[in-house]
Amino acid sequence: MASTSEHAPHTDTGIKLPVLKREKLILNDRSYHWITDRICGIIENRQPFLWWLLFIPSALIALIGVGGGLVHLVSTGVGIWGNTNRVMWGWPIVNFVFWIGIGHAGTLISAILFLTRQNWRTSINRAAEAMTIFAVMCAGIFPAFHVGRVWFAWFLAPIPNANAIWQNFKSPLLWDVFAVSTYFTISLIFWFLGMVPDLATIRDRCKPGLRKILYGIFALGWRGGNRQWSHYEMAYLLLAALSTPLVLSVHSVVSFDFATSVVPGWHTTIFPPYFVAGAIFGGFAMVLTIMVPARFIYGLQDLITMKHIDNMAKIILLTGTIVGYAYLMELFVAFYSGAIYEMDAFKFRIAGPYWWAYACMMSLNVLSPQVFWFKACRENLWVVMIVAMCVNVGMWFERFVIIVTTLARMWLPGDWKTFSPSPQDQMLFVGTIGLFLMLFLLFLRFLPCINIAEVKWAKTESDPHFEDNEAHSDDGAEEIPAYQKELAESKG
């Protein structure tokens, strides 16, 4: 009896609804060796001209903007920034929140999509995680130098010091120190551990020499034995499980910097989810911004398919709509609270001298992603790129609106001030964009930008029971789900 129950009983009632076939994640039935070759080839071959065309300017911008900018800043003093007594957070913290938010998509892809078994993540998780790490590095520059005298930044760490003063553990600013540094460390561990088997692949392809030694050291001597894989998979699962609440906590803690203060426009409970959704939204836009060109330049169309881009566009649409809801809910709560200061803060945001920042935020973040309701827009890479760029800019404006417009109009009219960034402010921000691109290009040059092992794993024939299924296949097309069987039986 056991053998007969394994096969679905045939129903002859005529109900045969078509079952959608699962879309393939890797196109053209590429072999394992093709995957290895294509991804390792990026590292082993000469870089395309376009790589140099992007790398040299980014490196120069990073050198002048971040290197030169910080030397100038430290040797002169933070007075050269546009920050004032009132708008004391100003531009640097806008940039900090912007960059830290970018990172969130990487962890979402690597951790949350892993836990929810979204196998399409395998083609994009490595690059997205790299992006996380580089974005957090860019973010870290701003608060470290914003403390004023950067050589005292170690005061942030809870270690005994000559003043016998201890950090205030009740302050969201210290929470932030712990949240961001933990986030960076865990992301780095996740990224590195995920890369070990792929580094071993590169090691095994290298000719003996310095390259082989260096890749060999970072591959830790990985052999790909199942006694290693078994623990490794558990470690990966644990890191995913740890990173999931972590990523949600990081931007929540960042939002606490604002929400725990008694400032109209900041003191709202919606901030943590609103910031997290915004971070994921902005992060996915950045993933698209860098992956769509990289996919094209390195010919990775079979690995990062239109399906991936479609999925990311849908996530941008979803999170963008959540962000839009948060914007409107903020306004509604300000109105419904009846608190005049809260209402004035929002009136000022919409119709004050910074109305253009609010308008940019609303149109770029809420309206522009709405085109992704249409399949044609999700399939047109130009539209995708334009929307992604809109979101990148829009999310920067969101932070500008939250920080600058709020601080410029606080409780005392005597304090009111209009903020304008100094050239040094702008130089440092542009410098971090250069730094981010430079680091990402170096990553593409030296490290496997797609998770080779996981992409192989995602192929259908990687399942050890694949051949058994092939032997007595049901063709997939006539597969009848259980509920339809019930339906058929009840009718018959």
Partner 1 sequence: MSTTRKRVYGYLAEFKSASALYKAAEKVRDAGFRKWDCYTPYPVHGLDAAMGLKRSILPWFVFFGGVTGCATAFALAYSTQVLIYPTVVQAKPTNIFTVPAFFPIMFELTILFSGFTVLFGLLGLIQLPRLNHPLFASKQFHRATDDGFFIAIEARDAKFNPDVTRNMLAEIGGENIELVEEED
- List contacts with partner 1 (CB under 8 A): 31-33, 36, 158, 164-172, 174-175, 178-179, 182, 185-186, 189-190, 193, 197, 200-201, 203-205, 216-217, 220-235, 238-239, 242, 245-246, 249, 253, 256, 260, 452-454, 456-457, 461-468
Angle between helices 49-62 and 423-446 (to 10 degrees): 140
> Whole-number minimum distance, CB 210 to partner 1, in Å?
15
Q: Nearer to partner 1 by C-beta: 126 or 456? A: 456
Q: Nearer to partner 1 by C-beta: 160 or 413? A: 160
d(CA 158, CA 137): 21
> Whole-number minimum distance, CB 279 to partner 1, in Å?
17
Q: How many C-beta neighbours within 10 Å does residue 207 have?
A: 6
Q: Nearer to partner 1 by C-beta: 220 or 318? A: 220
> Whole-number minimum distance, CB 240 to partner 1, in Å?
10
Asked whether the beta carbons of 387 and 369 are under 8 A apart, the reply is yes
Asked whether the beta carbons of 372 and 316 are under 8 A apart, the reply is yes
> Whole-number minimum distance, CB 211 to partner 1, in Å?
15
Q: Nearer to partner 1 by C-beta: 37 or 379? A: 37
135 CB-side CA count, 13 A? 28
> Whole-number minimum distance, CB 460 to partner 1, in Å?
11
Q: Nearer to partner 1 by C-beta: 101 or 216? A: 216
| Residue 8 DSSP code | P
Q: Nearer to partner 1 by C-beta: 23 or 233? A: 233
Token pair for 331:
């306004």
Per the listing, tokens 């100094």 go with 422
Asked whether the beta carbons of 395 and 98 are under 8 A apart, the reply is yes
Q: Cβ neighbours of residue 400 under 8 Å, at least 6 residues apart?
A: 94, 354, 357, 361
Q: Nearer to partner 1 by C-beta: 181 or 484? A: 181
> Whole-number minimum distance, CB 376 to partner 1, in Å?
36
d(CA 277, CA 326): 9
d(CA 449, CA 441): 10
d(CA 2, CA 457): 31
d(CA 28, CA 302): 7
